Amino acid sequence: MGLPGGILRDGALRRDFAFRPLTGAVELALAEAARAGSPLPVRVTAALAATLEHVGGVAAVPTVVADLSVGDRQFLMGRLAVGLGVGESWLTASCSMCGERFDFAVDYGDLPVKEGGEGYPFATVETSLGPCRFRVPTGVDQEAVANLDDGGEAIQCLMGRCLVAIPGQMAGGRLHDDIVGSFTPDDCARIEAAVEAVAPEVAVSVQAACPACGAPHAIDVDPYRVLSPRSGEELLRETHILASTYHWSETEILALPQDRRRRYLDLIDRARGMAR
């Protein structure tokens, strides 16, 4: 399975990607990205740069990862959750009809994915100022608006950043933000719809029925769930056990693939008469 959007390189879309072998060192880098006090988009960039080997035919350095579309980044975070063995989780919700609380399972590997539409990553929109061309938002754009508390200001900023071509007579030294401020509400609605039509998307809500009364619910899911603030605590505990038992260094332990590390832990538990 490739990226739902991809990277435009030399006029062609590249959708290939690969994660690094899952060693303790990669898991620790992910945990450190999760605990950083940076805005969420910055942490997502750090997490993907730490865990991806390549994307779109190039090394997954932070600048490349940040330039991925929002949908591609959410897709990759979901695939990362599956690779880490945490792609399935149980969530709890309260029924708005009968008040009953219920649990339901979510498999992040099975969330619906919409691929980029025709023309991705660009959309041309007829506006009151003439035809304007926009690109889909990326991680860099998310980082730019992450600290803007005013929703309207964030949308204006995002629209200005994603505006890539305007009618020739409009250029005349005008800033994109100035031009964006001239769009009518109808223009803004058409721009949003056109960009959404070409943007790749991953479902961020699931349907679940209350088992007590059968009422349907649309419940939000977190596409970035692997960035848990408690991420890495289990890895450190496992490293401590292996170091205490075999007297290996942290570097040696973190170089082990996850499955081999877990097999050693199983052997330790069996030797102690315990079952993991």
Could you tell me the residue ranges of all domains in the chain?
Answer: 7-114+202-220, 122-199, 233-270
Q: How many CB atoms lie within 10 A of CB 70?
A: 21
CA angle 119/124/128 to nearest 5° reads 170
Report the pLDDT value the prediction gives residue 172, as an integer from 0 to 100.
45
The predicted-structure confidence for 258-271, as pLDDT tens digits, reads as follows 899 999 999 999 99
Compute the distance between CA of residue 20 and CA of residue 213 in angstroms, rounded to an integer: 45
Residues 139 and 122: beta-carbon distance below 8 Å: no
Average pLDDT over the chain, rounded to whole? 90
Q: How far is CA 125 from CA 93, 164, 204, 235, in A?
A: 40, 12, 26, 49
The predicted-structure confidence for 58-101, as pLDDT tens digits, reads as follows 999 999 999 999 999 999 999 999 988 888 888 888 999 999 99
Q: Which residues contact 238 (CB under 8 A, 6 or more apart)?
A: 24, 261, 262, 265
Residues 218 and 206: beta-carbon distance below 8 Å: yes
Residue 157's SS3 state is helix
Report the pLDDT value the prediction gives residue 191, as an integer from 0 to 100.
96
* DSSP tag of 172: T
Per-residue pLDDT band for 168 (boundaries 50, 70, 90) equals low
- Reported pTM: 0.88
Compute the distance between CA of residue 229 and CA of residue 70 in angstroms, rounded to an integer: 22
Between 153 and 276, residue with greater pLDDT: 153
CA-wise closest residue to 239 among 19, 31, 21, 33: 31
Report the pLDDT value the prediction gives residue 175, as an integer from 0 to 100.
58
* DSSP tag of 23: B
